[in-house]
Homo-oligomer: A and B are copies of this chain.
Amino acid sequence: MTKTYFPNVNKIPFVGTGDLKSGFGYHYYDADKVVGGKKMRDWMRFSVAYWHTFGQQLDDIFGAGTAIRPWNGLTGMDLAKARVEASFEFYDKMGVDFFCFHDRDVAPEGDTLRETNKNLDEITDMFVEYQKQTGMKVLWNTANMFTNPRFVSGAASSPFADIFAYAAAQVKEGLDTAKKVGSSNYVFWGGREGYESLLNTDMKREQEHLAKFFHMAADYAKEIGYEGQLLLEPKPKEPMMHQYDFDAATTIAFMKTYGLDGTYKLNLEGNHANLAGHSYQHEIRTAREAGLLGSLDANQGDKLIGWDLDEFPSDLYEATLAMYEVVENGGLGKGGLNFDAKPRRSSFTPEDMFYAHIVGMDTFSAGLLVALRLKEDKVFENFVADRYSSYDAGLGADIEAGKVDFKTLNDYAIDKPQSVLLAATKSGRIEELKDTLNHYIIDTLK
């Protein structure tokens, strides 16, 4: 790593809240500071997404890539290797501990999977070497089974058995790679596992194939002794009109239907939550309460926009409420916060790569600090405890304990007048709670 790819940026230090203008310093992320009993770096387990940060050129469906990158001009394996070198310089300067990658982000395809795997192995050898030197870890890796035209109608849910076979072979290599590079998790985002039209789709047969595929993957992971978490990442639509892993609840239904809920957990993304009509907090809570919270793709969308923006997080409300769930969960375990995010196409300089990660890391760090403070003061906890207190004793406790039935409850309620029933309800105080939340954000982050 003697060559410098980002000569204009030095290691990003923690600088605190002195300067109002954004710059190359963290206002909140102080990696080794212990808060709520853990180092910030261990609460977060921040990860850089290889595809967005090193793999893509900021193209969109209406335009070519705008990105100015130090590796522009290179091709093939030369490009792939330069990106590896640049990526480790980037991680080091950012002070992140993890990265995530798809197989196809890091090395080019050959004509056969054997040739493709050879390229991949050569690059992952480099990863292993650099990881040894630097201590960097892989949060997760995954297989890109949506870009190549062979996956036009899905991979494991493809109507074409040869494609299923190819996908299996590709994920086999993915799991081998996960073991090799020590990935904490292996992720399945169902790129084209869904349908474009019900007119030509056997949804049940496709879902059965998909389930079978996940079982085979888990079997293979076990066989090779891979101990990372296996994760499914929901998204409701795009590129397909309907994706089978629509949202957390839909994916849980699928997992329960096919006996996968003991083996797989969820990787949840903010922008995907919004596209499904949910807040990010909703999706995380749904998974957490089901015991299935695996890892987070930390990004944000624009709720007025109907496609996946993968913006870097900057919204302190969303980050606070996401981290609130993480704190409730006691942290993310093997999971982490992966920035499945890219700078806007108009933020095309190398410096923007740093600015974008800084706003993302500082926003979630701020969110963590506010969440811990809210928990410490039991702000919502006490309110909620009081709100549901009628279930802590008496009739409510009997209901929870299964000691009553419709007949006993009927006896209890049948002569209660409306005034008494109304008196049993309490204001939910949403406006007051939102005001309090504002105060906690400001006071904690000042």
Contacts and interface: CB of A to CB of B under 8 A. Distances in A.
B352 A432 contact: yes
Interface stretch (A2-10, A31-39, A204-212): A204-212
A242 B113 contact: no
Contacts of A285: 198, 203
B160 A241 contact: no
A112 B420 CA distance: 10
A390 interface: yes
A62 B146 contact: yes
Query: What is the copy number of this chain in the assembly?
Result: 4
Interface stretch (A81-89, A161-169, A177-185): A161-169
A425 interface: yes
A409 B168 contact: yes
Given A149-B63, A192-B63, A384-B200, A428 B346 contact: yes
Contacts of A416: 112-113, 162, 166
Contacts of A359: 431-432, 434-435, 438
A19 B96 CA distance: 36
Interface residues of A, number: 169
Interface in A379-399: 379-380, 383-384, 387-388, 390-391, 394-396, 399
A222 to B, nearest CB: 11
Among A164, A212, A314, the most chain B Cβ lie within 10 Å of the Cβ of A164
Contacts of A164: 396, 399, 409
Contacts of A407: 172, 220
A433 B409 CA distance: 50
Interface stretch (A121-129, A130-138, A271-279, A330-338): A271-279
